[in-house]
Structure 1
């Protein structure tokens, strides 16, 4: 880890000293928008130049958004309060219009996953129900058939799934089992005499629950069930080979439920009511033996089970590993939501004026230090998450191309960590954006409440965030133990020392240095975040070793669970920062690069400021902690002058943003409109001249 951070730091230093300046000359336009007391300002940049650097597929985004400009009736109006039936119908029509416009998500998933995930991000601010509906149909239902089935399954189902002629479901979660997939109870028992699987729900707790597309549209499902076959040795008991995936028809072409299939509507939810979630119970439903998705295991007519993978654990891991794309898609969609919410909040805070010096005009809310400290770190983080999402997508594409085992493991952990971190961060940020916008943020027409409700479930599906973070820490512990298998405790301590590369606690040169030059040095920031991860990994390993013999592995893990989660978040934040640094170094436009550098500094310093570990370990002296806090405030002040440019670079057009207090004009660029209140009044029904 340390070597990687040093390489990034060297790359950053190679871009030249002019990019590392702290004191920058203000332009006239910025100076007019800033308080008189501001001492430093970043130079304005062209949002179009930043957009070009951020987004190499922006032309596709423009075309997708143009589809909805031409079909404004497909854009849900939150203040009208659509029923779930109306919203579901709207989402269904929207998906069909996208297909008619030439956007086939399943084709993109199979041939160009980067564009598939990008499409999901584009749809996130159109309607999250539409994005999730697309994900259920193509990433989950279609993706499970493509990734877990054979070429025969692909030929049989691909075209119908792609064109939405065969709407389908991903039936994994059960009433009593969600994240613990290995403990699912639904059964698929082979009837050797008829050469069929008998799919059955053995008890109420095994009813499939929250299944998207099930309540109305789904005609088939990938059902995860325990594969059971007769004992080849003639014993009386069935042999359970664990959870496998089966294609099970649900409805006929007229929409009537097939024999043995019972489906109930899960009803209204906190959000995403455009998705027809249902609960499914199977009563001895028979499907052909060939409906087993058999990429990792097959069963012949005699009931003989075979697999290229030697253990049930490896087969289970391989099966779930092929479903990583869902987490990648949720990460992309969550980043899209965060971009939209931050755009609304920053534009409104720059527009809304309140209080001011005596006998002077009121000042913008964004000029208040407290507002800057709430919003500008969000802007910095969304940029960091944007670049981290790009890293994840690139690694996912490489993994699908190479199938290299080490990369598969890395993508599994990275997708788990980034999905958990991004969705949790976005959910908290949505509340912050709502609060910063005051009472007007509470108005449904300004969308922040609806986005918060719709996005909330992102923290739970495709893996509960708490469970996913544990997978990240488990991966780190596995690598740690492999490196020091059989080694004495001193070896692990030397590992900790080596990871610091001179930035050790109690080193006065590091502990007490308060100079901005040092505090904004990427080498210091990267090493500090890596020290935190290494330190937490080291102490977690010690704690588990201490408690394991007395409590057993499960209870020792549970006793350290908060530590486990903190380690995973620390690791993800370190990855985000290093990815951010590479993005800074790769930007050739000097004005854009300065803003990116300031945001990367703010992202890292805010993390260090907020973690007591650095002070408890005497890694940072009290005087240095105070200097970091002052620098955080200063960086927020600098970024205030370019805040509008930074959100304008996301280029979300007004007809997609659809929040009167956050509209920008000119298709979404140029900051808040002076007459934004006119749009807001018009939304409330006032006649405006």
Structure 2
């Protein structure tokens, strides 16, 4: 199974061997580090990765699959390390390379690659985060000196939560409103919206440059190894060439030119965030795998109660425990295959620059980042509970992971905002099909699209045979039906409310409906990618386990969503049959749960949770006792 699901397992072994040889690079689990100590350790780890011969920026530009995989591997070492790497190479390095031209690449690539030029991605402001179009920082061209003058106009425009900024950042991609003198000679400024500029922050000695004001964001809930800062700029001057001008140029006279419309240019600029979202999805998946591995191994080894006059049974043999962990195991595998698909699509979009692929990647990266990070955040609490009081011990890592991972739901796009983007793109896609037709035609099409997913025979709504319930055709059509029905009904509601309330208030009134649509769409995509993996698996035993997990993933969603029963898509007796089948599949997966988590091959020296080590079932308390100070 490991060979089938991981074609980069050799890279995993090499990277994790670095940390086996250098245990001093692993952050202590029990002892608290100061933020300064943690930042120094993360810096030391990143330099060790470079010294070992790995080049994250060259991975990013030449083998993006390895880049995201490296981030996933490092997430289980220290999420602060993964975030630090992402800021340096995906955000700072990626913005220079993707938004700049060959001139910028030649000037900055090697220094960014070797961490000789640590940098920042200065987009978020105190008043504005997700609403990038409303950023207030200004870059005004001084035609006389051929320089941009960067200013923070008020306190709300203070750049905030800027990673790499408090200690290391020597330069930043600063997102600011590009303003040039109006050609009519009136002295007014023409505002061309948000663009990115390379702005030096510190000198070689680490001191802030004139006009640059930097404050440490201080202690956070977690991720203390990331040096976040806030910035203000006061008449900071940079050369005109520091505009990252792939999508728009400004000449010596101040004339602005762009081959794109304002909306397309802005979308292309924001496309740089897509890579960050892909990286967060990979890192979140790593945490989900780690937590699930610990909970499954603990549940299999820990015995509690049992029949009279008989040995105690494993906690994992209880249906209540299976109900929590087997769907989680299935979802982790579903996210694994879908994330691998997303990475492949992202690489294809980078290679071909095809707009349709780019749009698909934007939608899937937004939806999957929101889904994966939201699911993992909830799963961490469930895993902690499944391990009882021992899950509460810091040495078993759930607490640190819950704290460190929590912000993944917010940065690189708040999850609620990202899901709205997915819903908006779904609505746009279907409406575009009828761009020249009356509005009513759009809704007739949506109604038909939903109807096409209905069972051909009404009797199917009552069918309870396990073969039917596990038929991929039924499961795919059911999940598509849910997406189609939500899409059609929300489109109807939006049309009705827009006429009365206006577009903004109509959208807000339908917001929970839109979020449900986005989640349903993501789950449908995940199941279809899971089935691709099932069908492509050459080993019969592995394929059987993958199919059982895929069925659990889909049936769990169908059983939990009242929409199917309200629409009589699943009749009452069929719902009961699905519930019985799920319990059967949980028991089936329980028998192979240990090898399924073992297939992720998370080494003990990386996992480090005493109750979740690969040897835990043989010596269930030995490592834990040592962690508690007992010699034997």
TM-score of Structure 1 vs Structure 2, range by shorter chain:
over 0.9
Written as runs of structure 1 = structure 2, the 5 A alignment for 1:532-543 is 532-543=482-493
What's the counterpart of residue 255 of structure 1? 206
CA contact (8 A) 1:609 1:628 kept: yes
CA contact (8 A) 1:500 1:530 kept: no
What's the counterpart of residue 32 of structure 2? 81
Question: What secondary structure is seen at the aligned counterpart in 1 of 2:273?
Answer: coil
Counterpart Cα distance in 2 of 1:90 and 1:240: 43
The TM-score, its normalising length taken from structure 1, stands at: 0.90
Counterpart Cα distance in 2 of 1:408 and 1:140: 18
- 1:42-63 C-alpha deviation (Å, 9 max, x unpaired): xxxxxxxx00000000000000
- 1:347-384 C-alpha deviation (Å, 9 max, x unpaired): 00111111111111111100000000000000000000
Match 1:594 to one of 525, 528, 544? 544
Counterpart Cα distance in 1 of 2:123 and 2:552: 41
CA contact (8 A) 2:91 2:272 kept: no
What's the counterpart of residue 266 of structure 2? 316
Match 2:466 to one of 516, 526, 534? 516
Question: What secondary structure is seen at the aligned counterpart in 1 of 2:303?
Answer: coil
What's the counterpart of residue 531 of structure 2? 581
Matched, 1:300 2:251: yes
**CA 1:252/1:491 → structure 2, altered by over 3 Å: closer, same or farther?**
closer
Counterpart Cα distance in 1 of 2:271 and 2:359: 8
CA contact (8 A) 1:182 1:243 kept: yes
Counterpart Cα distance in 2 of 1:196 and 1:498: 55
* Runs (4+) off by over 3 Å: 487-502
What's the counterpart of residue 680 of structure 1? 624
Question: What secondary structure is seen at the aligned counterpart in 2 of 1:190?
Answer: strand
Written as runs of structure 1 = structure 2, the 5 A alignment for 1:472-511 is 472-485=422-435, 486-487=437-438, 489=440, 492-493=443-444, 495-498=446-449, 500-501=451-452, 503-504=454-455, 507-511=457-461
- 1:460-484 C-alpha deviation (Å, 9 max, x unpaired): 0000011111111111101111123
What's the counterpart of residue 457 of structure 1? 407
Match 1:435 to one of 381, 385, 400? 385
- 1:81-130 C-alpha deviation (Å, 9 max, x unpaired): 11111110000000000000011100100101000001011111011000
Written as runs of structure 1 = structure 2, the 5 A alignment for 1:589-668 is 589-665=539-615
Counterpart Cα distance in 2 of 1:416 and 1:502: 26
CA contact (8 A) 2:607 2:613 kept: yes
CA contact (8 A) 2:443 2:492 kept: no
Written as runs of structure 1 = structure 2, the 5 A alignment for 1:128-139 is 128-139=79-90
What's the counterpart of residue 165 of structure 1? 116
Match 1:226 to one of 171, 177, 187? 177
How far is 1:488 from its partner?
A: 6.4
**CA 1:545/1:248 → structure 2, altered by over 3 Å: closer, same or farther?**
same
Aligned length: 631
Higher relative contact order (CA 8 A, sep 6+): 1
Counterpart Cα distance in 2 of 1:75 and 1:331: 23
The TM-score, its normalising length taken from structure 2, stands at: 0.98
How far is 1:493 from its partner?
A: 3.9
CA contact (8 A) 1:169 1:222 kept: yes
CA contact (8 A) 1:201 1:207 kept: yes
How far is 1:685 from its partner?
A: 1.0
What's the counterpart of residue 41 of structure 1? none
Matched, 1:241 2:192: yes
**CA 1:494/1:206 → structure 2, altered by over 3 Å: closer, same or farther?**
closer
Counterpart Cα distance in 2 of 1:336 and 1:172: 27
Counterpart Cα distance in 2 of 1:470 and 1:392: 19
Question: What secondary structure is seen at the aligned counterpart in 2 of 1:593?
Answer: helix
Written as runs of structure 1 = structure 2, the 5 A alignment for 1:417-428 is 417-428=367-378
**CA 1:502/1:126 → structure 2, altered by over 3 Å: closer, same or farther?**
closer
How far is 1:321 from its partner?
A: 1.4
What's the counterpart of residue 479 of structure 2? 529
What's the counterpart of residue 197 of structure 1? 148
Match 2:327 to one of 364, 377, 385? 377
Counterpart Cα distance in 2 of 1:495 and 1:138: 42
Q: 557-566 or 477-486, which moves further after superposition? A: 477-486
Counterpart Cα distance in 2 of 1:329 and 1:566: 24
Question: What secondary structure is seen at the aligned counterpart in 2 of 1:641?
Answer: helix
Counterpart Cα distance in 1 of 2:571 and 2:459: 11
Counterpart Cα distance in 2 of 1:120 and 1:208: 26
Counterpart Cα distance in 1 of 2:544 and 2:397: 32
How far is 1:316 from its partner?
A: 0.5
What's the counterpart of residue 13 of structure 2? 62
Counterpart Cα distance in 1 of 2:167 and 2:215: 9
How far is 1:235 from its partner?
A: 1.9
Counterpart Cα distance in 1 of 2:406 and 2:439: 45
How far is 1:549 from its partner?
A: 1.3
Query: Gapped runs of 5+ residues in structure 2?
Result: none
Counterpart Cα distance in 2 of 1:478 and 1:74: 48
**CA 1:185/1:362 → structure 2, altered by over 3 Å: closer, same or farther?**
same
Counterpart Cα distance in 1 of 2:103 and 2:267: 23
Matched, 1:153 2:97: no
CA contact (8 A) 2:420 2:514 kept: yes
How far is 1:684 from its partner?
A: 1.2
CA contact (8 A) 1:143 1:323 kept: no
Counterpart Cα distance in 2 of 1:228 and 1:492: 43
CA contact (8 A) 2:166 2:216 kept: yes
Query: Gapped runs of 5+ residues in structure 1?
Result: 1-49, 666-671
Counterpart Cα distance in 1 of 2:625 and 2:111: 46
**CA 1:502/1:248 → structure 2, altered by over 3 Å: closer, same or farther?**
closer
- 1:16-70 C-alpha deviation (Å, 9 max, x unpaired): xxxxxxxxxxxxxxxxxxxxxxxxxxxxxxxxxx000000000000000000001
How far is 1:490 from its partner?
A: 6.6
Question: What secondary structure is seen at the aligned counterpart in 1 of 2:7?
Answer: coil
CA contact (8 A) 1:503 1:524 kept: no
Matched, 1:342 2:292: yes
Match 2:352 to one of 392, 397, 402? 402
- 1:146-192 C-alpha deviation (Å, 9 max, x unpaired): 00001000000000000000000000000110000000000001111
Counterpart Cα distance in 1 of 2:582 and 2:296: 18
How far is 1:337 from its partner?
A: 0.9
Matched, 1:354 2:304: yes
How far is 1:502 from its partner?
A: 6.1
CA contact (8 A) 2:174 2:197 kept: yes
